[in-house]
Amino acid sequence: MRRSLPGALLLDLDGTLVDSEPIQRAAYQAFFADRGWDVADLSLFTGRRAQDVFQNNSGPWSGADPRELAAAIVALIPADAAPDPIAGASATIESAAACGVPIAIVTSAGPEWAKRCLTDVLQVHHHVELIVTALDVVDGKPDPAGFVLACSRLGAAASDCVVVEDSPAGIAAAIAAGVREVYGLSTTHAAGELTTAGAVAVFPDFVGIAAQIGLNP
């Protein structure tokens, strides 16, 4: 029996649609090295806005403006940086659009990076109805504000929406927003971490997820 299609498909970007971890890691490492800061564990920043991490966690950055620190990291990412797409991501978005399922991107990144990835890397920008970025909410993931805003602007009930995320912070945000279900991608975190966070199932890429939600990319 075919599953009912979701009222909307809400997708994270980094680590979910594109494999940007190597690019971002290099930027963070260069940023910390330039300041002589010893920050060995960068997982704290995965799936979260850098400014939120700087603001809410102690570290060698204490006392500095978190927004300025975050902007400095973004400035270290090359203008021509092109992350690899996650397998099946573009096809899943195209299939969802063909089925009439509204698509929103809910990301901790900024609007320029989101547009670049959707246009140049994935080539699906024209299928995406809404992009909620770090600039659209006061609090980033794990706060649910981004997903709540996406549902509101799409006119979709959260309880009808499906989310795909790669981080525990993103999964927590989606669950707090009251979505129907959250699928995890084991691109940046172990599958066990994602199921513990609340993902109903975890996949290595979008091929398996698309089948689960009734799409056939």
Q: Are residues 175 and 100 in the same domain?
A: yes
pLDDT in tens, 12-44: 999 999 999 899 999 999 999 999 999 888 888
Half-sphere exposure of 77 (CA within 13 A, CB side): 19
Domains in the chain, number: 2
Q: What is the pTM of this model?
A: 0.90
Residue among 206, 12, 185 nearest 106 (CA): 12
pLDDT in tens, 140-153: 999 999 999 999 99
Q: Are residues 47 and 110 in the same domain?
A: no
**Residue 2 banded pLDDT, cuts 50, 70, 90:** low
Q: Does the active-site annotation cover 12? A: yes
Domain carrying residue 198: 8-20+83-212
